[in-house]
Amino acid sequence: MVVRWFSPLLLAVGLLAALPATAAERALDLLDVPVSYTADFTVSGDKGTYHGTVWHAPGRERRDFGTQGGGQTVLLRRDTDSAYLMKPSQRWYVGLGFQAVGALAGGIDTLTVERTKLKEENVGAIRATRYKVAAAGPKNTRFDGDAWFSKEGILVRAVGMMTGPDGRKSAVETMLSGLKVGRVEERMFELPAGWLGMDLRSVPADKIAEAVQTLMPR
């Protein structure tokens, strides 16, 4: 199912939506921290626990992670309104519009966030500020919990409860480790040469899931 491709992304974006804000703001406007960094990440939720690596630069983010079906990559290019699902073992990718990813995540791109600052704490070796956060999205989707941010504004840990449109609640958590703030090579955000690709950026958001499922190699 296509949702398996997006499970780590949905959890990560859902937790990343718990970003600091002095008033209700769109979460994705706050995601794009103005620094570059690399880190290992773990995301846990009702669809399992995923481990991987994240590379971030302003306007760009790449996440490599392992699943039962092998390694996968999600490349987000907010700067070009593009997103890519990549399967390294089979050297193929599907290109989507950036907003289509939000649609596949149940409208998570429209989440708004509020925060309350709590205290300074350490997350591993990282000094961070802890916030009580509440993120609200369409169809009564919510995230309520705590989130920790580095001095650069990078989300280094979040833990709480996600509420889906059906009212079902699930515990979720994400955490970074081995955080390195500094320049990331541009090649990390580029599509590999010679891969088989399909551009679906012109496909309506409500048809994306069906199209991606059809194109996946068997």
3-state secondary structure labels for all residues of the chain:
CHHHHHHHHHHHHHHHCCCCCCCCEEHHHHHCCCCCEEEEEEEEECCEEEEEEEEEECCEEEEEEEECCEEEEEEEEHHHCEEEEEEHHHCEEEEEEHHHHHHHCCCHHHCEEEEEEEEEEEECCEEEEEEEEEEECHHHCEEEEEEEECCCCCEEEEEEEEECCCCCEEEEEEEEEEEEECCCCHHHHCCCCCCEEEECCCCCHHHHHHHHHHHCCC
pLDDT at 13 over 50: no
Percent of the residues in the chain that have a pLDDT greater than 90, as a whole number: 33
For the residues 142-170, what does the mean pLDDT come to?
Answer: 89
Average pLDDT, the chain: 79
Q: Note the pLDDT tens digit of each residue in 77-113.
A: 888 888 888 889 889 888 888 777 766 655 556 677 7
Indicate whether 137 pLDDT > 90.
no
- Confidence bin at 207 (pLDDT 50/70/90): low
Position 210 confidence tier, pLDDT thresholds 50, 70, 90: low
Q: Tell me: the pLDDT tens digits for 60-83?
A: 999 998 877 788 898 988 888 888
More confidently predicted of 24 and 63: 63
Domains for the chain: give ranges and CATH numbers.
2-110+172-215 (2.50.20)
Q: Indicate if the pLDDT at residue 2 is higher than 50.
A: no
pTM above 0.95, yes or no: no
